[in-house]
């Protein structure tokens, strides 16, 4: 399983980061971050930190959805690019405020001369709720206005586009079931719960009486492999997106990805019942 994962990143070396193309740069930067997250998940599982690995599946899912959302809007992306840069300016003001309050350094300034943004401080921080609002959220009124659509809402838009064969089919829809809604449900209701203090992520289960019980080694290994399978699929979609967005031939990559997917599906017991990418 680990070997299949290591092969993924080898397929992006020939695609160059584009100049004068902020949309392409945003997608590329997101995929690179996804690769680092996937490598971290693999490393954690290799050292038997399966709960901590599961925690990272949630941001990997967000990166996957956001990168595809950016590409989905490639013919009308100006509003998204503007929102990204405005959100970055809001974060630059947050950075200044935290450094002023606590005397800590938070790295190089996010923008040149962040002091120049002071005149827009109230506007920017209100727009992004102090920097915590997602810049990529289209809003219920479109182009970032109105109430939040949320990550799950964007995932549903992408899934519906795949069902209609507008984009991303058959990757997100094409087999017996569409995937992203189910993926969103699983990631948020199970994997993300390990990020918080819940019973799922504890090293043993407390009981009102009697001795505590620990999971068996076989149970832990099986859970770890499912986390790795989940991460493999999500990071693999990011590389598919790069090939699609930049018009590269993905035939050989698809063959390699599917080979690794089948190998991992057999390990976690999904053989014959889970087809997240149907080449037909």
Angle between helices 251-268 and 217-245 (to 10 degrees): 160
Q: Work out the angle at residue 215's Cα, subtended by the Cα atoms of residues 213 and 217, and round it to the nearest 5 degrees.
A: 135
Classify the phi-psi angles of 134: left when phi > 0, otherwise alpha if psi is within -120 to 50, otherwise beta: beta
Residue 145 pairs in a beta bridge with: 142
Q: Is the pTM of this model over 0.75?
A: yes
Q: Quickly count: other Cβ atoms within 10 Å of residue 169's Cβ.
A: 16
- Collapse the DSSP code of 149 into the 3-class scheme (helix H, G, I; strand E, B; otherwise coil) and give the result: coil
Q: What is the rounded CA–CA span in Å between residue 160 and residue 172?
A: 9
Would you write out the chain's pLDDT as a tens digit for each of its 280 residues?
567 777 887 887 767 788 999 999 999 999 999 999 999 999 999 998 999 999 999 999 999 999 999 999 999 999 999 999 999 999 999 999 999 999 999 999 999 999 999 999 999 999 999 999 999 999 999 999 999 999 999 999 999 999 999 999 999 986 677 789 989 999 989 999 998 999 888 888 888 888 887 776 655 555 788 899 999 999 999 999 999 999 999 999 999 999 988 887 776 555 444 444 443 3
* Domain ranges (residues) in the chain: 2-268
Q: What is the rounded CA–CA span in Å between residue 67 and residue 237?
A: 10
Residues 44 and 50: beta-carbon distance below 8 Å: yes
- Collapse the DSSP code of 142 into the 3-class scheme (helix H, G, I; strand E, B; otherwise coil) and give the result: strand
SS3 content of the chain, % helix, strand, coil (to 5): 65, 0, 35
């Amino acid at each position: 399983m680990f070997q299949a994962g290591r092969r993924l990143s080898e397929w992006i070396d020939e695609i160059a980061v584009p100049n004068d193309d902020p949309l392409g740069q945003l997608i590329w930067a997101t995929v690179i971050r996804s690769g680092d997250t996937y490598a971290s998940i693999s490393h954690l599982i290799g050292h038997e930190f399966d709960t901590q690995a599961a925690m990272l599946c949630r941001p990997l899912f967000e990166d996957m959805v956001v990168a595809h959302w950016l590409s989905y809007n490639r013919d009308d992306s100006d509003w998204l690019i503007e929102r990204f840069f405005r959100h970055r300016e809001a974060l630059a003001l947050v950075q200044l405020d935290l450094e002023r309050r606590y005397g800590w350094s938070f790295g190089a300034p996010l923008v040149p001369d962040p002091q120049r943004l002071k005149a827009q401080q109230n506007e920017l921080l209100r727009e992004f709720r102090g920097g915590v609002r997602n810049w990529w959220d289209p809003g219920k009124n479109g182009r970032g206005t109105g109430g939040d659509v949320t990550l799950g809402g964007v995932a549903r838009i992408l899934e519906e586009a795949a069902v209609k064969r507008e984009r991303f089919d058959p990757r997100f829809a094409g087999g017996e079931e569409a995937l992203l809604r189910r993926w969103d449900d699983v990631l948020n209701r199970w994997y993300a719960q390990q990020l918080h203090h819940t019973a799922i992520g504890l090293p043993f289960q407390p009981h009102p009486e009697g001795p505590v019980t620990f999971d068996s080694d076989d149970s832990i290994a099986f859970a770890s492999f499912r986390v790795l399978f989940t991460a493999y699929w999500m990071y693999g979609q990011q590389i598919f997106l790069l090939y699609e967005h930049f018009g590269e031939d993905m035939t050989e990559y698809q063959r390699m990805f599917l080979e690794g997917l089948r190998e991992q599906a057999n390990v976690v017991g999904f053989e014959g019942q889970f087809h997240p990418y149907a080449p037909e």
